[in-house]
Structure 1
Amino acid sequence: MTPAAPDLPMPASALLPHSGDIVLLDDIVSCDDETLAASATVRPGLFSLADGSLPPWAGLEILAQAVAAWSGRQSLLAGQPARMGFLLGTRHYECRVDAFAPGAALTVQVTRALQDDSGMGIFEGRILQDGREIAHARLNVYQPGDISSYTQEIEPA
């Protein structure tokens, strides 16, 4: 019997395969088979600039974490733990702010556009502040069935 998934909203850290300062999302607000919506508050941390803001490129990490949380939720619903995956890149990233200001309340949305059985996927993502889109991207991701073959180091000869 598959355990029931906790109700939403829930902390994003419960669905991500990493923790601590690297987690940029706060809560998962909604999630279904195709989409996820999350909240994030910009706080000083690992990626911050000196003033506590996040540089524009950090929007890609925020969106990638939303995709990872979507995947983590799907795994949880299947009775499995969250798994690691890879952000392969983006076909287009546009950020309309010079930085994500400290304390800014963000809404993060991702939608699965394509996913195949090998673990390759494409997600459309956007970041909103006060209901206005400030960043968007199309993310190419990969989640292999066996992550260990990608994370093991080979001893030099």
Structure 2
Amino acid sequence: MIPWSLAELLPHAGDMILIDQVLGFDEEQIHTRLTVKPGGLFNRADGSLPAWLGIELMAQSVAAYAGCRARQQGQAVELGFLLGTRKFECNVEHFPAGSELSIHALRSLEDDNGMGVFECHLSGPGIQASARLNVFRPPHAAHYLDDTQEPRHD
């Protein structure tokens, strides 16, 4: 059990936090879960979630991994960016309402500049999805979004 809430780990707010729980993490990986609940921002009319949302669920798990590591080291949670996805495969078109989904993200590469690659797997009843996520967590990420900065003339 981890001592932090998801709101303390993810740079998301309210309904944009899609995962329900961090089950465990270590230096190389994280395990998360969620139950598909109808009535959310991305639900289809039947309460299910479209399968392409699996990429966001994986990305939020990677963000929770970074948040857990930051909190464990006494640092602030920084903003990160999903740069791209490779080899997304899913055996279903949607995740039915009520389905419990488990997500595993394993770090396969991370450099000192903030670039990372994670092998991710999502599973549930009759559901299998996988993808490789390329992520970037720059130092001082807020500067990337601050449009009040003076332009650099290097």
TM (norm. structure 1) is 0.87
- RMSD of equivalent CA atoms: 1.7
Q: Does 1:120 align with 2:115?
A: yes
Q: Note if 1:63 corresponds to 2:58.
A: yes
**Secondary structure at the counterpart of residue 47 of structure 1:** coil
Gaps of 5+ in 1: 1-6
The separation in 2 between residues aligned to 1:94 and 1:82, in whole angstroms, is 30
**Residue of structure 2 equivalent to 1:20:** 14
Aligned to 2:27: 33
Instruction: Choose the corresponding residue for 1:141, options 135, 138, 143.
Output: 135
**Match for residue 4 of structure 1?**
none
Residue 78 of structure 2 corresponds to 83
In structure 2, what is the Cα distance between the partners aligned to 1:64 and 1:38? 11
SS at match of 1:24: coil
Partner secondary structure for residue 140 of structure 1 = strand
Distance (Å, rounded) in 2 between the aligned partners of 1:148 and 1:73: 19
Partner Cα distance (1:82, 1:10) in 2: 12
Whether the 8 Å contact between 1:10 and 1:29 is mirrored in structure 2 is no
Aligned 1:93-108 pairs, distance under 5 A: 93-108=88-103
- CA shift in 2, pair 1:76/1:9, >3 Å: closer
3-state DSSP class of the match of 1:8?
coil
Q: Compute the displacement of 1:45 (Å).
A: 1.1
Tell me, in whole angstroms, the C-alpha distance in 2 between the residues paired with 1:119 and 1:80. Answer: 15
Query: What corresponds to 1:42 in structure 2?
Result: 36
Identity of aligned residues (%): 43
After the TM superposition, which segments of 4 or more aligned residues of structure 1 sit over 2 Å from their partners? 7-14
TM-score (norm. length: structure 2): 0.89
* Conservation of the 8 A alpha-carbon contact between 1:11 and 1:26: no
Q: What's 1:109 paired with?
A: 104
Contact 1:9–1:27 (8 Å) recurs in 2: no
Gapped runs of 5+ residues in structure 2?
150-154
